[in-house]
Structures are given as C-alpha cells and as structure tokens.
Amino acid sequence: MEILRLAQQSKFDTVTIPLPSSKSESNRVLIIDALTNGTNKISNLAEARDTQTMISLLKKNPPVYDVLDAGTTMRFLTAFAAVTQQNKVMTGTDRMCQRPIGILVDALREIGAEIHYLNAEGYPPLAIHGLKTQTNHQVKIRGDVSSQYISAMLMIAPLLPNGLELELEGKVGSQTYIEMTLDLMAQFGITYTWKENKIKIAHQEYKPTSFAVESDWSGASYWFSLLACAEDGTFFLEGLKENSLQGDSKIVAIMDQLGIKSTFKNGGVLLQKKEVTGLTKWDFTHCPDLAQTVAVTCAILGQNTIFTGVESLRIKETDRIHALQQELAKFNAEFKEIETDVFQVIPSVTMPHQVQIHTYEDHRMAMAFMPLATKTEVLFEDPSVVNKSYPSFWKHCNLAGISTEKLA
C-alpha cells in the first residue's frame, strides 16, 4: 500500500496556488458541447480524472461506457446516451455499481427511454437502448437525493421534441448545482422558467459559444482550511470569481467565521488570517462537498459546530459520515449524531505525535485531512486518490512549503 508522509508545518510564507479547473463546470459543458456536436470553443477544462474520463468516452464513443468511479460522469452520460439514441452499457468500479441510479433511470423511462438493469435493480451496470419516442413531458423527481439526477435531465431537456417540465418533490438538496446547470445552459442559449418547484424547458437548440471554465472552489476549500489551522501565512488562490456559479464558493462565508479574510483581486482571492469569531452551526444542504473539510477544520480549531444537510454524504464515493467519524477519532475528535441527520463536531483535546489517515478510495478524505499537518505528522494511505479531482494536490502542498515523503 502506498503511503505519503506529510511533515508538520504551521507557518507559511505568501504562497500562490494555481488551482485546478472546476470539475463540476467542466463535466456539464462537456455534455452541452456533445449535444451540439462539438461546435463550441471550450477552454480550461479540468485535469481531474472524472473529467478526463468524460472526455475520453465522448471522443472514443465505445459500446461500453466504463466511468470508473466518476458518479457525475455515470449520471450525465446515462441521460446523454438515451437522448442521442445510442445503445450503451453503463458500468464502473465496484463502488460505482453500489451507488444508486434508480431515480434517474425511472425519470428517463418515464419520458420514453428504454433502459435495463444488468444486475441489481436500481444500480449500475445498465443497458441503454435510446429514447425513440417521447412519451411524457412532465416528470416528478425527488430533490433530496442527488442534484446530478436533476442536472442530467435538465441538460437533455432542450433536445426532447416536447421539452420537459420537471417537478422537484420534497426538500431540494445541492440547489446551487442545479442553478449552475441552468446558468451554464443559459450561456449556451437555452431559456427556462423555474417557479416554485417546477422547472420548464421548451424544445429549443443550444447555441454555439465560447466558454472558459472557472477554477475549482471545492479545491480551494482545502487551502482555506490549511490557513485557518496554521499559525501564520497568506495564500493567493488563482482563477476564482466573486460571483461564482459554484455552490462551494460558500467556503468564503464559512471560513470568515473560522479566521480567514478573503479579498478578491487580480483574478483570484487573497486569503489572510484574522480573528476566529466561531462557527456554531451550518447547513450543508447546498454545499455537501465542503462538509468534510469544515468538519476537520472545526475539530482542529476547537469548534463545537452543528452540521445539518449532510444526508447525501452517505452515498458518495464512500459513506463519508462513517469515514469522518473513524478518522476524526484518530486525533481524539468526534462527528457525533445528536439527532437524526444532525451532527456535532466534538473537537480534539489532545493531539497524537502522528496520525495515519485511511482514505476510503475517496479523494476528499485525503484532501480534507491535509490541514492536520499544521498540528502533527500525518500519514496518508493511497494518496493517489486525489487524482479523481485534483491531481496536482500534493505538488501544491510542496509549493506551499509542506514536506512530503513516499514511505511505500
């Protein structure tokens, strides 16, 4: 097993981090581009493995779409294959085939797609045989499981002969990702209405355009956390916009309470340390990918913070709630469920001389626990998991001044 050691480091100079491009934006514009037969000028696509997998599958167009561990790629390509009348088998890693897709398949079947499960009902692998006739233009879909199901349906909606009226049932999670999808579609000429819980998109054509992908706010969150936990330093994160489409830009407001001042300037954001005012509670419904990062930060900074809106963490690359509980315990902190789906960080009171983090084949488990290096030596199992979204992450740690060493 590969292990990477991070030496303890708590003081940093002024460091510029060339952040990776947004995986979320990249994967959406790639689908939109494919739906317009590649007539757009797309730049600054993400280096993330998920995005590179999407690029490769769209380019090679094999009979089997093996998405590896890329959940977004699985869901978006399922809808894409259906609306473009393709016969495809959708599959991925063992973990990918344990992640549910039934809600999306049901919605696609309702509008006329022919899709069959090849193993367990509701889970990949599955076989797609196109969408020859639209049988319905009104579909209800749960809003509290995964916004990716909703985004997948929205992006194919303009190509449907009768358009689509999507009714979101119940609580809507990760709403900012739905808004991102619609905003990106609008930049490619699509009009829509969203009133209360109904999104309506008429049959229309995407219009070719030029689009540059923004840097990744999820990737930025780890540097906010590192500086919050550090004794001293200043970071400049390149390529971020103040008025971002990405929901994870909420990290600015969260970290403002955890001791980070953010100033947008010169095509990025400057991070400086300031007084910690305290984070008592945060609802992660619309930014669940920040939960691990913030939990670790709070545990290190001594914040007894209440977390809500983290239900979707159970069906990510791993059960992230369980993983957080296991790994926080290694430095005497807790992520305690105090009532159903409500959790509290119980911060660490004593820090071991060394902590070894199991990463659960989950890129965010590795990156979220990196700031622990401000307090102790940290060993990371399977550090290459970061390639899923941020392949240059450990190099950027070196750039910031953190010493790394491969032990196995």
CA nearest 388: which of 149, 69, 164, 99? 69
Retrieve residue 225's tokens. Answer: 């956390």
Q: How far is residue 20's CA from residue 280's CA, in Å, rounded to a whole number?
A: 31
Q: What is the Cα–Cα distance from 78 to 98, expressed in whole angstroms?
A: 16
Between CA 315 and CA 302 the distance in angstroms is 28
The reply to whether 382 belongs to the active site is: no
Q: What is the 3-state secondary structure (H, E, C) of 135-190?
A: CCCEEEEECCCCHHHHHHHHHHHHHCCCCEEEEEECCCCCHHHHHHHHHHHHHCCC
Report the distance separating Cα 17 and Cα 224, nearest Å: 11
Tokens of 408: 């196995």
| C-alpha–C-alpha distance, residues 398 and 408, integer Å | 18
- 3-state secondary structure at position 48: coil
CB atoms within 10 A of CB 232: 10
CA distances from 107 to 70, 79, 111, 262, 273 (A): 21, 10, 7, 41, 47
Helix, strand, coil % over all residues of the chain, rounded to 5: 40, 25, 35
> Which of 33, 69, 289, 362 is an active site residue?
289
Q: Are strands 198-201 and 87-91 parallel, antiparallel or unpaired?
A: unpaired
Which residues are the active-site residues? Answer: 289
